[in-house]
Amino acid sequence: MRNLGTVIGFTLRTKMMTKAFIVTTIILALIMTIGVNVPYLISLFSKDEPMKIGLLQGNYPVIEQSLEKSMAEQKNKDLMLLSYPNTTEDQLKKDIEAGKIDGYLKLEKQVEGTTEQFPKVIYTGTDSLGMSKENVLTSTLTLLKTKWVAKGALSEEQFRQLNEPISFESVKLQANGESKDPEKEDANKGISMMVVMVLIVLFFMTNQMTGNMIASEVTQEKSSRIMEILITSVSPLAQMFGKIIGMFLLGLIQIVVFLVVVLANLMLPHNIEPLKEMNFDISMIDPAVIGLGLLLYVLGYFLYATLYAAVGSIVSRTEDLGQAIMPIALLSMVAFYIPIFSISAPNTMLVKVASYIPFFTPTTMLLRIGVGDYAWWELVVSIALLLVSVLLFGYLSAKIYRTGVLMYGKRPSWKEIRKAMKAYKI
Amino acid sequence: MKTLELDQVVKQYGDKTAVNGVSFDVEEGEIYGLLGANGAGKTTTMRMVLSLIYPDGGSIKYNGKPYYKGLEKIFGYLPEERGLYPKVKVSEQLLYLAQLRGMARKDADKSLKYWLERFNVPENYNKKIEELSKGNQQKIGFIASILHNPKIVIMDEAFSGLDPVNVELMKETVKELRDNGTSILFSTHRMEHVEELCRNISILQKGNAVIQGNLRELKSKYPREKVVLRTVGAVEGLEQIAGVSEATRTEEGYFIRITDESAGQHILQAAMSQTEVKHFEIKEPTLNEIFIKVVGGESNA
Ligand SMILES: Nc1ncnc2c1ncn2[C@@H]1O[C@H](COP(=O)(O)OP(=O)(O)OP(=O)(O)O)[C@@H](O)[C@H]1O
Ligand SMILES: [Mg+2]
């Protein structure tokens, strides 16, 4: 096992010093820095000024004044009401053209039969007001209408009560009779979904990247014949797992660098404010999702990495490698797309079945943990299956690795591989 | 005790027999020469000795035992195609390989510096393999195979691609290793190296060991067919002597081919009777000649 450490150390040292690794790490770190700062950058460019609306006065002074007053009290950031006493409509239209205001409101007399109705409100402007601003105005006006209809029959206190919004709360009944706050649960689900997505994408990307690196590394060692020296000095098992663990640590180092970069950027004073606004709280992340997610991630990585190493050892030339790793790449793509397409329906039969197939367990089981339903025994069984296949495929791959690295020329037949695998100790 | 014992070793690739019942022993402190035409089975035999591939028949014993764990620490191997990482620094990969063979990194570093110095390439310590010339890569491969003080060294065409000065350096090193008790299995296509270094040899042909044994004895078994004669004056009638097949005049005398060794004495008598003889020699066949005779120029790829 001392050799395992030596192989890991060598893999780390030689890979970390390569230009390719350093350059990609820096580029990705820069992209992340930009990504983290995007909300701040956007807020820099869209200094959103409130919409300015003029109010033509004269027809209903009482209502007009109340409207002005309550709008001023609301301090709405998007909407600003400017009063225009003693002006004509023409003047307002000119102001619109001059860009001083975006539009104006006019109260118009409305009579039905003989009774005078609450005035009709007309908005004139270059663009329509838009749903949210119209809502603000109508709800304010509705209140004024109540006051106008009641005509002093209500006390100030009664009026205040009318003004109060209705408090509405929905409670979801859980299977065990307990009730949870569904709103909070929804928020947590959203966060879990995000964590699941991030982990699945990360799994897919790192899997493909390191997998390719491992396979081509093995092929190169084989074609440069250094493999002959390696096999005569260290057991293939130590050699293969040393390389795989080394690559894993390399990826880990990269991820730590990225985390530090992202966190450092988030800590910058100009980024703290937008983050608070998004209502984001670390404690909202379910630790079970993170913990189990990482366990599945590591096991999945080892399962795929051993396969990539085995395939790399069968191929003699780097040019043939792309074709040879296709089946594994396809497997990992299926493992990626099943949960991605099932993210809104995580309890289908497809997802359930897939979560027991070791190649798909790392992603599909994660989906079920994060956003679906699962029983604890299902989790145990699928992780046990995954663990067993990691050991089994690790052993088989080491055998293939030992056998494959000495087969040059034509692609060996299955019979030859089987015969050789029986012979070679690992 | 015999360091290496091969007994009736067989290796088949499909229906082709690459090595067909080869047996030989290598003693402690001996350089054993494995000769043969291209494709004769030298590399295959060496790979079996290293346990890289397993024989289909026969046995290989190391210090009297079959392959045992720990041998990898005393093996040194210089493959025919130089096995080194092209893009990794010389020091990085040689220290790694020495560590894998059980040497402490610090000791390996000291040893590496010593050898680089000795082969006059200390500046290669921090260079990548791909930046080196072929001969210098060869030197690094050679150092890699002996850095960890192995007891059994296997060198497949050790001196190919080296200039005469470096060949001398390597030969000195190999002899030094031998004198320190290392057993060396050695293949080459340069017969003069074998004559200088090896005590025992095998010549393989199509997987069979056609000639085996002590180099001196082998040579003495082959008939001596060449006479070199240097005289002051001319010698007449050499072709008429019984057993002489051909006589040619050279700068200083004659080169005579004989079919019967006893003809030599008649040649000497004839020469002495006519002029003064400065030099007379019945030459042993060179290994080169034996090789060509045995393998017969036919390729067996
Ligand atoms: N991996 C292999 N698969 C099939 N045949 C092989 C393999 N390796 C070697 N052979 C065959 O075995 C025979 C012996 O090959 P080997 O490499 O031992 O020759 P060699 O004596 O080292 O030749 P050279 O002097 O050219 O290096 C050759 O005929 C070769 O074609
Ligand atoms: Mg060879």
CA–CA distance, A312 with B299 (Å, rounded to integer): 34
| Tokens (6 digits) for A60 | 């209903």
B40 and B160 co-located in one domain: yes
Q: Alpha helix locations (H) across B151-227? A: 164-179, 191-197, 215-221
Tell whether B299 is covered by a domain: no
Q: What percent of chain A has pLDDT over 70?
A: 88
Per the CB < 8 Å rule, is B97 touching A233? yes
* B79 CB within 8 Å of a chain A CB: yes
Q: Where are the beta strands (DSSP E) in A119-219?
A: 120-125, 172-173, 179-180
Q: How confident is the model at residue B27 (pLDDT cuts 50, 70, 90)?
A: very high
Q: B85 to chain A: which residues are within 8 Å by CB?
A: 14, 221, 224, 226
Q: Does B301 fall in a domain?
A: no
C-alpha to C-alpha distance for A225 and A405, rounded to whole angstroms = 9
Is residue B294 a part of any domain in this protein?
A: no
Q: Report phi then psi at B226, rounded to 5.
A: -130, 135
Residue ending a domain, among B167, B198, B220, is B220
Does residue B295 lie within any of the structural domains? no
B239 against B152, higher pLDDT: B152
Spatial separation of the C-alpha atoms in residues B6 and B231, rounded to whole Å: 50
Nearest CA in chain A to B72: A233
CATH architecture of the domain covering A48-163: 3-Layer(aba) Sandwich (3.40)
Classify strands B200-205 and B208-214 as parallel, antiparallel or unpaired: antiparallel
Same domain, B213 and B230: no
Q: Which residues of A touch B51 (CB under 8 A)?
A: 232
**DSSP secondary structure, B28-56, as one string:** TT-EEEEEESTTSSHHHHHHHHTTSS--S
- List B51's β-bridge partners, or say none: none
- B66 and B179 assigned to the same domain: yes
Q: Is B42 in the pocket of ligand 1 (CB under 6 A)?
A: yes
- Segment B231-239 shows an average pLDDT of 83
* A210 residue type, one letter: T
Confidence label for A278 from pLDDT (cuts 50, 70 and 90): low
B132 shares a domain with B108: yes
Q: Mean pLDDT across chain A, nearest whole number? A: 82
Residues 6 or more apart whose CB falls under 8 angstroms from that of A240 comprise: A306, A309, A397, A398, A401
Do B178 and B42 belong to one domain? yes
What residues in A contact B75, CB-CB < 8 Å? 232-233
Do residues B212 and B243 share a domain? no
Q: How far is B9 from chain A (nearest CA, A)?
A: 16
Is the torsion defined by CA of B204, B210, B212, B216 positive or negative?
negative
ipTM, two decimals, is 0.82
The residue nearest atom 2 of ligand 1, judged by CA position, is B13
B36 ligand 1 Cβ < 6 A: yes
Give the span between the Cα atoms of B71 and B68, in whole angstroms: 6
**Is B193 found in the same domain as B145?**
yes
Residue B181 shares a structural domain with residue B254: no
Query: Smallest Cβ distance to A14: which of B84, B88, B101?
Result: B88
Those residues with Cβ within 8 angstroms of residue A289's Cβ, 6 or more apart along the chain or in another chain: A192, A195, A196, A366, A369, A370
CB B231 near ligand 1, within 6 Å? no
Give the SS3 label for residue B11.
Answer: strand
Residues B27 and B128 in one domain: yes
Q: Is the pLDDT of residue A179 over 70?
A: no
C-alpha of B182 from chain center: 15
Q: What is the pLDDT of residue B262?
A: 83
Same domain, B132 and B251: no
Region B129-140: mean pLDDT is 91
Q: What is the pLDDT, as a whole number, of residue B216?
A: 86
| CATH number reported for the structural domain that contains residue B242 in this entry | 3.30.70
pTM for the model stands at 0.76
Of the candidates B168, B192, B220, which is a domain's last residue? B220
Q: Is A6 in CB contact (< 8 Å) with chain B?
A: yes
What is the CA angle B260-B263-B264, rounded to 5?
115
What residue numbers bound the domain in which B130 lies? 2-220
Mean of the per-residue pLDDT values for chain B? Answer: 89
- B158 burial level (CB within 10 Å; 0-12, 13-18, 19+): buried
| Domain-embedded: residue B292 | no
Q: Which of B220, B241, B273 is the last residue of a domain?
A: B220
Task: From chain A, pick out residues whose CB is under 8 angstroms from the CB of B52.
Answer: 228, 231-232, 406
Record: contact A13-B72, CB cut-off 8 A: no
C-alpha B158 – ligand 2 centre gap (Å): 11
Secondary structure, 3-state, A89-115: HHHHHHHHHHCCCCEEEEEECCEECCE
Query: B297 in a domain, yes or no?
Result: no
Domain of B27, CATH number, reads: 3.40.50.300
- Decide if B100 touches A, using CB distance below 8 A: yes
Do B145 and B244 fall within a single domain? no
Domain ranges of chain A: 2-34+184-423, 48-163
Nearest protein CA to atom 26 of ligand 1, as residue: B38
Ligand 1 nearest atom to the CA of residue B36, by list position: 21
pLDDT (0 to 100) of residue A140: 83
What pLDDT band is residue B275 in, cutting at 50, 70 and 90?
Answer: confident
C-alpha A417 chain-centroid distance: 44
The pLDDT of B1-25, averaged and rounded, is 90
Mutate to test the pocket of ligand 1, among B10, B12, B13 (most ligand atoms within 8 A of CB): B13
Q: Would residue B293 count as lying in a domain? A: no
Average pLDDT score over residue span A351-370: 92
> Do B79 and A6 lie within an 8 Å CB cutoff?
no
| Token digits of residue B102 | 């059980």
Tokens of B290: 């034996």
B290 occurs within a structural domain: no
Structurally, chain B folds into a number of domains equal to 2
Does one domain contain both B173 and B229? no
